[in-house]
Structure 1
Amino acid sequence: MCSSCFAIPSVTIKLLTTAAALIYGQRSFTTNSNKWTRWITFAITVVISLILSAIGVFLLVLSVNPDFRKRNFVNLCVGQNLKGSPLDVHRCFVLEQGNVTGKVMEFGPGPGTNFKCFQNMTSAASIEKYVAVEPNSYFEEKIEEERKARGLEFPLEFVGIKGENVDIPEQGIYDVVVLTHVLCSVDSAEVVLANAEKALKPGGRLIVLEHVLASEGSALFHIQRQMVAPVLNIVGNGCKFLDLHRALEDFLGDRFDLDITKFEAPVPSFMFFARPHIKGIAVKDTLKLRNDHSPKSLQHCQQH
Structure 2
Amino acid sequence: MATSLFNGCMAKKIFTRSFIAAYKDRDISRKQLADWIKLSLYFEDPTRTLKPGMIYHETIPKYAELFQTGLCIFAFGFYATQIRAFQKYWLHEWMVTAILGRQTIDHYSRSHLIKCHDISHIATDSIDNSLQKFIGIIEQTGPGYLYQNIQPVDREEGMENDKESQNRDNTPRLKQCYSIELFDRQDREIKLRITSDGLFNCRSFVRDLGFYLNCPSSIDSAHLDKLGPVSSEQSLQKHQLHYEQMVKSAEEITPACIEYLKQLRLQYPDAKDSSRFI
TM-score normalised by length of structure 2: 0.26
Q: Which has the larger radius of gyration?
A: 1
Kindly indicate whether structure 1 or structure 2 has the higher relative contact order, using CA contacts under 8 Å at least 6 residues apart.
2
Higher strand share: 2
TM-score normalised by length of structure 1: 0.25
Higher helix share: 1
